[in-house]
């Protein structure tokens, strides 16, 4: 099956710093990738849709200036959490859709962000 790689798997940072998370589709091209956020023992919430070569589409309530998304190539999308604060601590997961398959999404392993 399709493989999505997400890096880093874990990051601990100080409040006020920015953190970049990478999401790569390894064996297929993904014009669209998705970023989700998951709090402990809760479900995934869609944050934004990342579109290659154009601006990301953010879900209601998600600050686009806080969570910067760049999708510069067909295999890479990045999420940058800017000026991170403790409330940004969460599990961030990306996914990519293989265009040949009916909206089945392939997920990265996730990034656990802890902001001190």
Partner 1 sequence: SQQGEEDPQALSIQEGENATMNCSYKTSINNLQWYRQNSGRGLVHLILIRSNEREKHSGRLRVTLDTSKKSSSLLITASRAADTASYFCASTRGSGGGADGLTFGKGTHLIIQP
* Residues lying near partner 1 in the complex (CB under 8 A): 4, 6, 31-32, 34, 36, 41-46, 49, 59, 91, 93, 95, 97, 99, 102-110, 112
Least distance between partner 1 and beta carbon 83 (Å):
25
Least distance between partner 1 and beta carbon 9 (Å):
9
Task: Output the CA–CA distances (angstroms, integers) from residue 1 to 46, 96, 113, in the order listed.
Answer: 23, 12, 27
As a whole number of angstroms, the distance between CA 49 and CA 47 comes to 7
Least distance between partner 1 and beta carbon 99 (Å):
8
If residue 49 lies in a helix (H) or strand (E), which one and from where to where? strand 44-51
- Our CB check for partner 1 shows the closer of 18 and 109 to be 109
- Our CB check for partner 1 shows the closer of 68 and 107 to be 107
Task: Output the CA–CA distances (angstroms, integers) from residue 106 to 56, 57, 58, 61, 97, in the order listed.
Answer: 19, 19, 20, 25, 6
- Our CB check for partner 1 shows the closer of 9 and 83 to be 9
- Our CB check for partner 1 shows the closer of 32 and 75 to be 32
Least distance between partner 1 and beta carbon 16 (Å):
26
Task: Output the CA–CA distances (angstroms, integers) from residue 94 to 44, 58, 108, 116, in the order listed.
Answer: 11, 14, 5, 23
């Amino acid at each position: 099956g399709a493989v999505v790689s997400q890096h880093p798997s874990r990051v601990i940072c100080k409040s006020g710093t920015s953190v970049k998370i990478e999401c790569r589709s390894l064996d297929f091209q993904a014009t669209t990738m998705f970023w989700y956020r998951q709090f402990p023992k809760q479900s995934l919430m869609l944050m934004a849709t990342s579109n290659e070569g154009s601006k990301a589409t953010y879900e209601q309530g998600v600050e686009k200036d806080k969570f910067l998304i760049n999708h510069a190539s067909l295999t890479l999308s990045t999420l940058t959490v800017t000026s991170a604060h403790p409330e940004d601590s969460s599990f961030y997961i990306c996914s990519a859709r293989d265009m040949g398959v009916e909206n089945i999404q392939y997920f990265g392993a996730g990034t656990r962000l802890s902001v001190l």
